[in-house]
Chain A
Amino acid sequence: MSRLLLGVVFLCAPSFSQDARAIVAEVQKRAQTSSQRYEGTLEVSDAKRKVSTKRWVYERLGAAGQAKAVLRFTAPAEVKGVALLIHNHPDRASDQWMWTPAQARDRRIAMQDRRTRFFGTDFTFEDLEERDVDRSTYRMAGEETADGAPCWKIEATPKPEARSQYDRVLLWVRKDIYLFARVESYAKSKLIRRLKYSRMERVQNVWTARELEMHDIERDSRTTLRLEKLEYNVALPADNFTLQALRRES
């Protein structure tokens, strides 16, 4: 979840470093804020172009691999009240719990389920995790334009301990604002997913993509995430990000 959000909030600061890892670290650094809140709309368009929509409210506290986040579904009616709590760790995969109000139960979402799709979207749980920059190795693969903007093209290879479903990820980083413009994820040398960032705006001095579109190549389905009412550095109490709060507030 958080990486997706980091994609939204990466800062833009001038840097002329040509070192691939340094560029990614800079992207991450510029995205750092103490907290974040937004209302998200997810539109999933399947291969037959049938569209389903979900809405949620997202809150994050902390950053740089140690963030805690809560996501609460607000629509459609069938899933209203379902909540997700995420505790990210710099040295290992995140812990995730789900709260289902109809059963008044929380459940831990196991780490190995990261390959599975995030509730019917084209994102997998792994795509949504916040990743430490040191969990991959990087190589500069050249320079290209993405949507007309000049970008660095960087190849990231997840380290074995990352236990990633991907064996290679290509990143396009905009030179002007140090924000991801596109991410292509490969497994067994085959392109699996393509993530495109658009509607880039400066929100509270943080460059953010307000719209992200994930394309599952094999299924030919697309998920578009739009971020509304986005705020950074809002005051969020730490005890909102606990299992007790998850149970209490749902």
Chain B
Amino acid sequence: MMLLRLITWPYVRRHLLRCTLTTAGIVLGVAVFVGMHSANQSVLFAFNQTVDKIAGETQLQVTAGETGFDEEVLERVQNHPDVEAAVPVIEAAVQTGIAGQGNLLVLGVDMTGDRALRDYDLDSADEAIIDDPLVFIAQPDSILVSRAFLERTGLKLNDAISMKTMQGDKRFVIRGVMKGSGLASAFGGNLAVMDIYSAQMVFGRGRKFDRIDLALRRGIPLEQGRQRLQAALGPGLQVDSPASRGQQFEAMSQVYSLTANVTSLFALFIGLFLIYNTFSIAVNQRRSEIGVLRALGASARQIQHLFLIESAIAGLFGSLAGIVAGVFIARGLAGYLSGMFSEIYGVAQRAEEVSANPGLLSAALVIGVATSLLAGWLPARDAARVDPVKALQKGRIQVLSEGENRIRRYAALAALGAGVVCVMLGHRPAFFYSGYLLSVLATVLMAPALCVWLTRLMRPLLKWARPVEGALAADSLLQAPRRTSATVAALSLSLALVVGLAGVAKASYESIRVWMDQALNPDLFITNSESITERSFRFELSLGEEIARAPGIAEVQPVRTVRIVYQGTPVMLVAADAERLSRRVQMRVVEGDSATMYRRVSQGEGVVLSDNFAQLRKLRSGDAIEIMSPAGAVRTRVLGIVHDYSDQQGTIMMDRAFYARHWNDTSVNVFRVYLEKGASRAAVRDELLRRFGDRTRFFVLTNDDLKAFILKVTDQWFGVSYIQILVAIVVAILGIVNTLTVSIADRRRELGVLQAVGGLRSQIRHTIWLEAASIGVLGLIIGYALGGAQLYYILEITRRDVAGLTLDYRYPIEIASLLVPVIIGAAFVAALGPAESAVRGSLVEALEYE
């Protein structure tokens, strides 16, 4: 403690800016980690909280994905001897049309029995309704809403809310108000309750329920009850606790979680280099101090501990600041993610508060401090090895020894060789991921040597541009390869991340555009929601025939899209008239015979899978596949695999008749409409809206509208990547500022001598600018190379383990080109401050430095 107070604290006070910059890497890494994960957790928490509050006393839920199931299942569940109470539920998110209120989560329940599981905690209502569900049930326009919703909207009891339903615009009368922090506060209070049979009509559910909520008889263990009920109902219906809905949502959003992990770890990794670099320089600067301490009796271990404690403290402060910043980031990000998840997965949740999980914050703190300690370990070891005699000799500087350089080069070559071998054996995940880590390690180890080689190559160019300043700048970099290389390594890692992410975005956009042109070629799409991913409402099949009778329409293809659970993961099921679809759509076939597979699918002989579904489940064309329907297991065959980007977890495509037979569901989500030659899209759309717009929920999207929507969702998804790219660039710039700041301070004497022997201030400035630009160029060159490898690995990881999607390798030349002025410009800006501080300081002080 005394050493910290006497040695460290004065040093920190003298170099406050440098210390701040040093910890900035950790701040940023931890902030990104906390921010992205807290935002994600907040969305999951909001979803789980909604599920919990709606669940009430529910112990188990019977579901069949989004398809729902026939009403008769309710009787089977109610008659099961282990079941105390079982009630049917329909759940859907509906736009209220009230400004600023977003979606209203509507819960359809059977009020005659639902109070066995849920407490409505009615605040006010017609007295009769509070006491008598009969009055509520007998009037199908009845709804209950929360007190919070009323207060936000200014509505009151017996006011009407208009909702666009499958029976056209309908008014619902608020016949009761729920209060309290239970059910009424679910979905941020934007909750309405209506009778289940009204909900069936309003949402076009036919005679189906979405799920059954149930409580077991007293004394029956939950797992035992679950298993027995599952056995009684068969595999087509899932019996799980309400919490499992959260797990399914988590499974859907795992791609985002992985992205958040990669970004934050990468940011921390870059921060590690920043700290390493600053501490290395600090050790050099403070070697005389270390020499004095050693001469006074301090042991090597004490010196090592001193530096390690310093790095731990830097890590601690950096992590704490990062946590605070992360919570602020999460606040901004949670709403964005909430909207994005709703658009992508069609899952209703409403993240209004940021949930700061103590476990996550503790993990961030530990990771931040550990990273800092790891970064400080090598400099601390070097500090401990300082020879006190040499340290006290003024002007002698310890530099990276040739021996150490050689060891690094050999280690780098070994890592590179091992990495290549791993790539060759990359079909095994362990080898593949090892290969990735080894390639990064090889680059990091090779960084000093690469910096020296590349600077030597650049020296003539710099000298040609500025004979004196150019040569000085190059020599400065060559004389301090460790300092330069750590910055360049941090910069290259950042740029590699940028190139990798930009490459994935480019590949994704290109692949999605190609897929949209092939698969989404109808002129119009008729949906029952503003968003194509929202599946709360369903059309009746017969509507398609009426639509087909409108003038200008050549063909109408009904499609049912629905999320089902396949081996515990929610996946997309698309049911369409396969043969008709194949006549209009030519999707890229990965496996199978495109000439026959659609015909066989239309005959109910099997299904076609998206490539990501097949890749993630290791399925091939010809394999048997078992899909669960409410009626039981449907055993069929994979007839082909096609490129499809409908869903991140994969898509099963089957014939609509096959689906209707096994799922007992003929409802439709989307009608694909092809127009006759010469028919105007706008005119047909207007005519369709005129005919059906008031009768039911009826939205007509043109081909361009739909593609724009998909690109908007893609933009939203890559919005997260853009944040990552921004973080990577900020970290890169931070690295340059940091290096130059410490580098200039380190070289005050050298720069003072230059001025003393006649060097002009402008020459000093130009030297530092060129040095900064050179660091930028070195970072760009190595970053581009590493980025190329990084992109390969990200695409492979995406294909193998994340989304199963095969994306073509596309080097992001546009972003790479854009990085040149950005990084060189940032390097120049970063150099301005240090350059001015170098030329404006006292020459005497500079010459006396050290």
Contact = CB atoms under 8 A, between A and B. Distances in A.
Interface string B76-87: 001000011111
Interface string A94-116: 00001011110101111111011
Contacts of B39: none
Contacts of B140: 100, 102-103
Interface in B740-781: none
A193 to B, nearest CB: 15
Given A103-B201, A120-B135, A113 B85 contact: yes
Interface in A37-88: 44, 46, 50, 52, 73, 78-79, 81-82
A44 B197 contact: no
A16 interface: no
B719 interface: no
Contact of A112 (B113, B131, B138, B198): B113
B116 A115 contact: yes
A100 B135 contact: no
A116 B127 contact: no
A110 B86 contact: yes
A159 interface: no
A233 B113 CA distance: 34
B128 to A, nearest CB: 6
B86 A112 contact: yes
A111 B198 CA distance: 22
A111 B195 CA distance: 19
B135 A78 contact: yes
Contacts of A81: 138
Contact of A79 (B87, B115, B134): B134
A167 to B, nearest CB: 13
A110 B85 contact: yes
Given A50-B127, A112-B84, A82 B116 contact: no
A100 B78 contact: no
Contact of B132 (A100, A113, A115, A120): A120
Contacts of A112: 78, 83-86, 113, 116
Indicate the member of A82, A100, A117 with the most B CB atoms within 10 Å. A100
B116 A46 contact: no
Given A102-B140, A112-B85, A52 B116 contact: no
A113 B138 contact: no
B139 interface: yes
A112 B218 CA distance: 13
A119 B115 CA distance: 12
B74 A108 contact: yes
A46 to B, nearest CB: 7
Contacts of B116: 112-113, 115-116
A116 B113 contact: yes
B331 to A, nearest CB: 43
B74 to A, nearest CB: 7
A111 B197 contact: no
B75 interface: yes
Nearest to B129: A120
Nearest to A122: B131
A81 B138 CA distance: 9
Nearest to B126: A78
Given A78-B135, A112-B84, A100 B197 contact: yes
A100 B137 CA distance: 8
Contacts of A50: 127
B197 A103 contact: yes
Interface in B123-165: 127-128, 131-135, 137-140
Contacts of B85: 110, 112-113
A95 B176 CA distance: 29
Nearest to A106: B197
B112 interface: yes
Nearest to B84: A112
Given A103-B201, A112-B84, A112-B85, A82 B134 contact: yes
B195 to A, nearest CB: 8
Interface string B709-747: 000000000000000000000000000000000000000
A96 to B, nearest CB: 9
Interface in B61-75: 74-75
Q: How large is the interface on B (under 10, 10 to 19, 20 to 34, 35 or more residues)?
A: 20 to 34
A112 to B, nearest CB: 4
A74 to B, nearest CB: 13
What interface size band does chain A fall in?
A: 20 to 34
Nearest to A77: B138
Nearest to B136: A78
A184 to B, nearest CB: 23
Contacts of B78: 108, 110-112
Given A112-B83, A112-B84, A116-B116, A102 B133 contact: no
B534 interface: no
Nearest to A104: B197
Contacts of A108: 74-75, 78
Contact of B113 (A52, A100, A110, A120): A110
Contact of B138 (A52, A79, A117): A79
A98 B139 contact: no
A111 B85 CA distance: 8
Interface string B194-238: 010110010000000000000000000000000000000000000
A111 B74 CA distance: 12
B175 to A, nearest CB: 10
B131 A44 contact: yes
Contact of A105 (B84, B133, B135, B197): B197
B131 A120 contact: yes
Contacts of B131: 44, 46, 52, 117, 120
B91 interface: no
B110 interface: yes
Given A112-B83, A112-B84, A112-B86, A120 B134 contact: yes
A98 B137 CA distance: 10
Given A103-B198, A110-B78, A112-B78, A78 B115 contact: no
A109 B128 contact: no
A46 B127 contact: yes
A83 to B, nearest CB: 11
Interface string B101-121: 000000000101101100000
A52 B128 contact: yes
Nearest to A79: B138
Contacts of B198: 103
A179 to B, nearest CB: 30
A102 B262 CA distance: 56
B44 to A, nearest CB: 32
Nearest to B215: A112
Nearest to A101: B138
B139 A102 contact: yes
Contacts of B201: 103
B115 A116 contact: yes
Question: Which of the listed residues B84, B133, B134, B198 has the most CB atoms from chain A within 10 Å of its own CB?
Answer: B134
B84 A119 contact: no
Contacts of A100: 137-138, 140, 197
Contacts of A119: 132-134
Interface in B8-45: none
B127 A82 contact: no
B651 to A, nearest CB: 35
A79 B440 CA distance: 74
Pick from B78, B115, B131, B195 the residue with the most CB of A within 10 Å. B131
Given A107-B197, A120-B128, A113 B113 contact: yes
29 contacts: A44-B131, A52-B131, A52-B132, A73-B134, A79-B134, A79-B138, A81-B138, A98-B137, A100-B140, A100-B197, A101-B138, A102-B139, A109-B113, A110-B74, A110-B85, A110-B87, A112-B78, A112-B83, A112-B85, A113-B112, A116-B115, A116-B116, A117-B131, A119-B133, A119-B134, A120-B131, A120-B133, A120-B134, A120-B135
What 4 A-B pairs have minimum CB-CB distances, sorted nearest first?
A120-B132, A120-B131, A113-B113, A119-B134
Given A78-B138, A82-B137, A109-B113, 7 more contacts: A101-B138, A107-B110, A107-B197, A108-B78, A110-B87, A112-B85, A116-B115
